Homo-oligomer: A and B are copies of this chain.
Amino acid sequence: MATANRPCVEGGHVCGIDISMEVIGGKWKVLILWALHEHPRRRFGELRRLVPGITEKVLASHLREMEADGIVDRVAYDEVPPRVEYGLTKDGMRLNDALEPLAAWGRERRQSA
């Protein structure tokens, strides 16, 4: 995303949530992140199937943003037909871990709903 947002300052200390939200803000980002966590080293086409409903364009642009944000790494093999593999960086994995409590909150909520 890389768009600077107003810092989130409360009572003199910076909360950091704003940064995280910029990185996972897209509609599909967390889904891609999750898919890559569950299925490491995935190819573009596989990823598209793992995130049902996403279009090629949106998947491509989100992957590019996530790469720029340093949470996804992309490896292109010089073959015919072309092959590209996506995976999580260390930072991407840590982000996924940081997302887990949030996922748990969502799951609980689904129960009670």
User: A interface vs B, CB < 8 Å?
Assistant: 6, 8, 10-11, 14-21, 23-24, 30-31, 34-35, 38-39, 50, 52-53, 91, 94-95, 97-110
Contact = CB atoms under 8 A, between A and B. Distances in A.
A interface majority secondary structure:
helix
Nearest to A110: B19
One complex includes copies of this chain to the number of: 2
B6 A110 contact: no
Contacts of A110: 14, 16, 19
Given A6-B52, A98-B101, A101-B98, A106 B11 contact: no
Contacts of A14: 107, 110
A7 to B, nearest CB: 9
Contacts of A8: 30-31, 34
B17 A102 contact: yes
A66 to B, nearest CB: 13
25 contacts: A10-B39, A11-B39, A14-B107, A14-B110, A15-B107, A16-B104, A16-B107, A16-B110, A17-B99, A17-B106, A18-B31, A19-B107, A19-B109, A19-B110, A20-B102, A20-B103, A20-B106, A21-B30, A21-B106, A23-B109, A95-B105, A98-B102, A98-B104, A98-B105, A100-B101
